[in-house]
Every structure is written in structure tokens, then in C-alpha cells.
Amino acid sequence: MKAAEDKAAVEAAVRVFNPSGRSAFVIVCDHASNHIPTELGTLGLGPEALVSHIAWDPGAIEVVRILAERLDATLVESCISRLVADCNRPYDAPDLVPERSEMTAVPGNADLSAKDRERRIKLAHKPFHDCIAQVVSDRLEHGWATRLVAIHSFTPVFMGVARPWQVGVIHDEDMTLAHPVMEALAAEKQINVGDNEPYSPADRVYYTLDRHARSLGLEAVMIEIRNDEIRTEAGQSSWGNRLAAIFGGIAGSAQNRDKEITNREGGTIRPGAGGVRRQTVGR
């Protein structure tokens, strides 16, 4: 592939929304898109599979955009399907480039050579993580409070088993963020909240947060919303606003938050003039 084309492919892999957001929260959405780069065709899948949860987290990006806007938070979203390379898996995970996803075989992912795997990483995984790393390191350099929130959606029935939780809060041993989020969600009686359900870090689904937050001692939490809750615009808006109210409440009481905003409003750091590299900014 020619260098210019290669660059274009890589640039389209990640998007930063609101790079100068004032919130302490940085939101990441690993599975925001079901887009497959042209060079990979359809990976041998039919149209139905390509819009299903095996290709992405349906509804997640709509929720996340509302959340980022309401919080005035920076959002980093992947623009490539998890079937190309799953951004929320370590390089050595067997399902980094899944040959089978739930009950569907992915022909285009079968028997990949090491070179093919490298290509997948370059197309999807590396640009996404390079971008988050840059956003986080720029913030830390400026002394801005930084907490990471990853938003995902999950399928209501997996391998024939129904999942009762409308939402899951996924966390490691540091529950600084997870605890108040779970409490606020559980206060709404009609919501069944999963504590490290339907997944937990032991399932290797905490990769992005481990890499960009926990390894640096930053607080993090992952929210999994059951995707039947966010199929419609009304559902997406309801969850986006609900999470914005919850995270807004936590941010308001967090240490450094006021100091951070004062510094930025006081002119020592001008919003938009910081070192956060602007990539494609859009909605």
C-alpha cells in the first residue's frame, strides 16, 4: 500500500471529540464503529452480521456523545470494527482478531499470518491507543485531573443465555469511581446493576483502562449498557443523560476539580490552546 493511502487509513481509525473538554473525565469508546476498511472487504460476513453486536457496540456511541457533550468531556472513539482488531484486548489475546465471534465464524479472520495480524493492529488498535496515550499524557503534563471512563454495550442474550442486568459496572480493586456509580444506578429501583457483570477484568476486558489509567494510577471505570436499552433515540438519550447526571455529580465533589477549572479559566491554561493534539474532530 502506498504511504499516502496508508496514512489515510490510519487517520480514519480514531476520532477525538471535544479535545479541549473541561471535564476531568476522558471518555473512551473502543467499539464505537462497525466500519471495516475497504482493503478487508466484508471479512466474508453477510450484512446482518456486519450490523450486529459482533461487529461493534450498537448504541454506545450515541450515548457517549450525549455524555461527553453534557459533561464537556473529551471523547476518544475508535472508527474501526472490533472484527478488524479488538481495541480492548491485549496483543496476545486469542480474540484480538476473532476467528469466531459468539456463534459466527469470521472467514476473513481465519488463519491470519503474523504480517496480517500486524496490519490489523496498525489499522485499528495502534492508532486508537496512541491517541488515548497522547490525550492522557498531554492532560497530565498540564496537571489536569484525569479519570477514564470506557463505555460499551452488550447483547441481551449471549450464547443462548439471557443477561438480567440493564447495566454493568466493571472495575478492578480501585472502586473510587465504580462505587458511587453503582450506588447511583442502584438507587433507581427499576435498574438491575451488574457488579463486574456481564464481564470482569479477569475476562481481559479491562485492557484499555489498565493501559491508559490504572498503570498510571488514574481512576477508571467501565460501563456496559445492555444494547436493547439503547436501540432507540429515546433510550440513548435517557442513558446519556442518566450517566451525565451521575458522573457530573462525582466530578463536582472530586478533589482537584475546582482547582483545575480555576487554573484553566484563570488563563494559565487556555481551553483549546493546550497540547492535546487535534485529530479529526467531529460528531
Residues that bind Zn ion (CB under 5 A): 31, 57, 152
The three three-digit cell numbers of residue 269, written as one number: 491554561
User: What single letter denotes the amino acid at residue 198?
Assistant: P
Task: Confirm if 112 and 123 have CB atoms less than 8 A apart.
Answer: no
Q: Which residue lies nearest Zn ion, judged by its C-beta?
A: 152
Least distance (Å) between residue 241 CB and Zn ion = 21
If the CB atoms of residues 57 and 77 are measured against Zn ion, the closer one turns out to be 57
If the CB atoms of residues 168 and 257 are measured against Zn ion, the closer one turns out to be 168
Least distance (Å) between residue 87 CB and Zn ion = 9
Task: Confirm if 38 and 66 have CB atoms less than 8 A apart.
Answer: no
If the CB atoms of residues 9 and 222 are measured against Zn ion, the closer one turns out to be 222
Task: Confirm if 201 and 192 have CB atoms less than 8 A apart.
Answer: no
If the CB atoms of residues 57 and 172 are measured against Zn ion, the closer one turns out to be 57
Euclidean distance between CA atoms 115 and 93, whole angstroms: 16
Give bridge partners of residue 149 from the DSSP assignment: 27, 221
If the CB atoms of residues 63 and 251 are measured against Zn ion, the closer one turns out to be 63
Least distance (Å) between residue 88 CB and Zn ion = 6
Least distance (Å) between residue 95 CB and Zn ion = 12
If the CB atoms of residues 57 and 219 are measured against Zn ion, the closer one turns out to be 57
Task: Confirm if 269 and 3 have CB atoms less than 8 A apart.
Answer: no
Least distance (Å) between residue 150 CB and Zn ion = 8
* Helices within the chain (DSSP H only): 3-11, 47-51, 60-71, 114-120, 126-141, 178-186, 207-212, 233-253, 257-265
Least distance (Å) between residue 154 CB and Zn ion = 7
Euclidean distance between CA atoms 263 and 82, whole angstroms: 38
